[in-house]
Structure 1
């Protein structure tokens, strides 16, 4: 997970420099991020389903190899097209790493204990997200930005060795493996077309146009066909019966909103620091530490408290409130806002994300049938990434529009400042007119202040647009069933299910009865819950199988 996050975040502070060096524009900047999120979103449920069918250790090693090879290849980019293409492949590997690490954790750690480990996952994410921009900024300022893409390769080699040597997972029960190829193709095509439309509409074509009709209509038809295929598939990519589960459904809604709030806003923080405050790549990494500090500290503390008390809902609800308030506060910043205030707002934003994001996965893993744990876990990651992808695309388009409009409003003031520079102003005027992202720190003071004010107010507008999504997250988590966290690992729970079924069959001479409203998976979960409750009352059972 650390390798994945480090390789993803190490380029965040250097992206303005990279895009400028490769002669890219704001659309290219947005697509470098969107392409990774898009591939991650599409591949996540595929990895999750494979984890319910195949060897998870081999899968996580494969995902790591795909991720790191693509990351290294991105370092050879000579244009933004190659960079975006490699980021797509990188996203496929990232989808596997994000889903499989949490699925593997469920194999070996019970939900009650998992709260503490979810906190550690949040801390690892925060550490890599803080360290990545810092390392990337130093490399960009003092060496060459291409080394940002190579730095994770030795760490990946160490991770592969450690996984091979130390990870020993209980084998899944043998069953016939059927891959839902039609579901994979339909979901990938439908979601990709929809997200491409989100990123292009309003700039490349109008909202009401033939292109919009074809792309949105085609996406909706593809999604309808996907639902039809999933209903008939023996091993659906995303079992639609999961949406009967309130915990899964409301966690999906909450994850969509968290994805937009997290990815869609944090991506533009580096632009704010460099383009609105004139910071270097290194300094912009340092200046975003408060947000990741909030994520690291709060997620670790809250994770330990959840494991200690077994209570989770109050923390998730509180986190949603903090997230919403932080987004509103970030919507008030300007290019010259006192930085200690900006730091406080960023800390609150990180704290809110840290209290909500990982714990939504935890409560889903605690409530779904064991046979669907992999696909349910990856489903939450999938919808969170979808939210993030839509957020980056939509908010990136809004930011580009805001910058253009605000630049037009200050056209007279800007032209006057440029004209006063004489011959030097001609090059600056040509650079700004090209639409390329400017190197603000290198601009003369008179022009720099104008550009900084434009980007400062434009980025603030992005946060204010995202604020209502925090309210949506709050409403979703309020409706989550407040279930007690279980004390069995996935493997122990699966064994309990099988033992309970065997005992019921031996007593009645027939399989355990299902109520008409229950699916087989629901019945298995109910039987395991009963078995777990019984285990909690039996002090003679081994500690790993006894309730807390």
Structure 2
């Protein structure tokens, strides 16, 4: 494909990716209003996010496998339709149960869009040139992340209310559907379909039970109890069964375990899990921090997100262009994780009194690190994978990042709920002793300390107590996330850098030898002299 043909097809793909990203970011600032309006709890807040992440996680590898078997264009369009149906149901949800179910269905489409956009781009563009286009992906990611909270905040504050947040992505989805129909033309692989539904079901079941245990333990039942033991045992049993099915039974497993024999894939996958915990688990609660700890409106909370996304935008574009020019990517992963660790550690020091300029600077630092890390981890795996496994390998990395995100959101949400509840109960007792609240107010509040309150309706002393409790608890979440970011950094250090291929197909023996730097006899060879400015590349001759 020529550069023009790639850009035309990329337009539809980027619109689809924009829709997928918008689905989570546009809701982030609406969540406090949604949970208050539908009389939900902190657990409900968590599961509105986790439901989408969970179904996205479970179906991402299936979409990746389908991409190796069917028309990629048709699959992207199907994912857009599924996403749109879920959005409509979420917009009319009468209670938290229906909303969480609709978000889970929406996640089926988001999983397809997340996996397929990466797979289609990998099919069109060689790894060496992919950095050139990953900058566009980073820009769309940043645009959706910036505009999402802003749009969500404006819609929540408008007559449409929070329900409008689920509708604004529908026109973009429709445009993406039409553009892809006209511009995306890729060959379709025709072979027998063997989808590993059993493996996918077992994986989803095992992960779901762990997340249910993490999010409900401590509130609905004790951490050390018969219920906890049953949930953990059932989860481990399902995951063990899933591994057995993937290794011994499935003809075309959802997660081909042989992929993990490659060191780069194994380490990048482990790093993706840790980044998912640190990134999703901590940052999803920033909007709650700004609205409940700092008293901001949804629109103002959306404006604060610009700090993190601005850093992400700049670093993703710059890193993509430099990687295309040099073919070297590991230094960006290492440097990016240093910034992520520093940013998350600094965010761990915030509370309800931290100056907003300081909070914004810490967010920008984290964004710079994430922009240089997330896309390039996928690139490192794609560069090491055989073409027939490209879909599966790309989706495995995305899947494990989502698993980390789901676990992080659920676990840190449980930590947040427990810490806020404990702090509020202690604070209410002190307010009662000082005469700032009446016994009637105390009795009413102690029945709902696990709920997300409507701050505007609370007496001033109790509102100040909630704001201080949320501010301190969110800072604590980032400190909990730091060790996970450090583990990701260690994994990245041990990834072996392989110069990026210049072809989309399987590399020839000669090119493989050149990339490795040696020939079969052990003689040294020249590395390829890449023609970065042109559409192709020329390979140096063997000595």
Q: TM-score scaled to structure 1, two decimals?
A: 0.88
Match of 1:266 among 283, 308, 321: 283
Match among 493, 516, 522 for residue 478 of structure 1: 493
Secondary structure of the corresponding residue to residue 92 of structure 2: coil
Instruction: Give, in whole Å, the separation in 2 of the partners of 1:379 and 1:370.
Output: 15
Distance in 1 (CA, whole Å) between partners of 2:205 and 2:263 is 28
- Confirm or deny that 1:138 pairs with 2:154: yes
Partner of residue 252 from structure 2, selected from 211, 218, 235: 235
Alignment of 1:117-132 (within 5 A): 117-132=133-148
Partner of 1:514: none
1:414 aligned onto 2:405: no
| Cα pair 1:535 1:546 within 8 Å, conserved | no
Q: CA deviation at 1:340?
A: 0.8
Structure 1 CA distance, aligned partners of 2:234 and 2:141?
36
- Which of the numbers 434, 441, 466 marks the counterpart of 2:448? 434
Flag structure 1 segments of 5+ consecutive residues without an equivalent: 502-521
CA gap 1:209/1:429 in 2 versus in 1, 3 angstroms: closer
**1:309–1:18: structure 2 CA closer, same or farther, 3 Å change rule?**
same
Comparing 273-282 and 121-130, the one that deviates more: 121-130
Matched, 1:463 2:488: no
**Residues 474-524 of structure 1: CA distance to partner in whole angstroms, max 9, x if unpaired?**
1010000111011112xxx14x66xx79xxxxxxxxxxxxxxxxxxxx99x
Assess if the C-alpha contact under 8 Å between 1:298 and 1:355 holds in 2. yes
Alignment check: 8 A CA contact 1:15 1:29 kept: yes
Partner of 1:195 in structure 2?
Answer: 211
Distance in 1 (CA, whole Å) between partners of 2:125 and 2:421 is 51
State the 1:218 CA deviation: 1.9
Whether the 8 Å contact between 1:265 and 1:462 is mirrored in structure 2 is yes
Number of aligned residues: 511
1:69 paired to 2:107: no
Question: What is aligned with 1:88?
Answer: 104
SS at match of 2:68: helix
* Aligned residue number for residue 182 of structure 1: 198
Q: Tell me, yes or no, if the aligned pair for 2:308 and 2:360 is still in contact at 8 Å.
A: yes
Aligned residue number for residue 14 of structure 2: none
Equivalent residue in structure 2 for 1:280, among 285, 297, 306: 297
CA offset digits 1:227-251 (Å, max 9, x no partner): 2222233212111111100010000
Change (3 A) 1:405 1:60: same
2:72, 2:188 within 8 Å by CA — same for their partners in 1? no
Q: Which residue of 1 aligns with 2:21?
A: 5
Q: Are the structure 2 counterparts of residues 411 and 444 from structure 1 closer, same or farther at C-alpha, using a change threshold of 3 Å?
A: closer
Match of 2:420? 403
Query: Is it true that 1:317 corresponds to 2:334 in the alignment?
Result: yes
Alpha-carbon distance in structure 1 between the residues aligned to 2:42 and 2:116: 33
- 1:432/1:438 contact within 8 Å kept: no
Structure 1 distance, partners of 2:322, 2:446, is 51
- Residues 198-232 of structure 1: CA deviation (Å, up to 9, x unaligned): 22222222222222222222222222222222223
CA positional deviation for 1:310: 1.2
Please list every run of 5 or more consecutive structure 2 residues that lacks an aligned counterpart in the other structure.
1-16
Equivalent position to 1:386, from 390, 403, 416? 403
Structure 1 residue aligned with 2:42, among 22, 26, 40?
Answer: 26
Task: Give the superposition deviation at 1:444.
Answer: 4.6
The equivalent of 1:504 in structure 2 is: none
Could you tell me how far apart the structure 2 residues matched to 1:307 and 1:428 are?
Answer: 62
Separation (CA, whole Å) in 1 of partners of 2:95 and 2:446: 20
CA distance in 1, matches of 2:361, 2:98: 38
Question: How many Å apart are 1:192 and its aligned residue?
Answer: 2.0
After superposition, the C-alpha distances for 1:404-456 in whole angstroms (9 at most, x for unaligned) are 12113322343368x5478xx96797356423212335545433322211111
For the residue of structure 1 that corresponds to 2:219, the secondary structure is: coil
1:210 equivalenced with 2:226 (yes/no): yes
Q: Within 2, Cα distance between the matches of 1:322 and 1:39?
A: 30
8 Å Cα contact 1:274/1:441 also seen in 2: no
Distance 1:405 1:193 in 2: 26
- Match of 2:252, SS? coil
How far residue 33 of structure 1 moved from its aligned partner, in angstroms, is: 0.7
Structure 1 counterpart of 2:9: none
Q: Aligned with 1:410: secondary structure?
A: helix
User: 2 CA distance for matches of 1:449 and 1:251?
Assistant: 44
278, 296, 299: which one pairs with 2:316? Answer: 299
Q: Is the 8 A contact 2:269 2:397 kept in 1?
A: yes
Alignment of 1:316-335 (within 5 A): 316-335=333-352
- Give the superposed CA RMSD: 2.6
Give me the whole-angstrom Cα distance separating, in 2, the residues matched to 1:171 and 1:537: 33
Alignment CA distance shift 1:537-1:210 (3 Å) = same
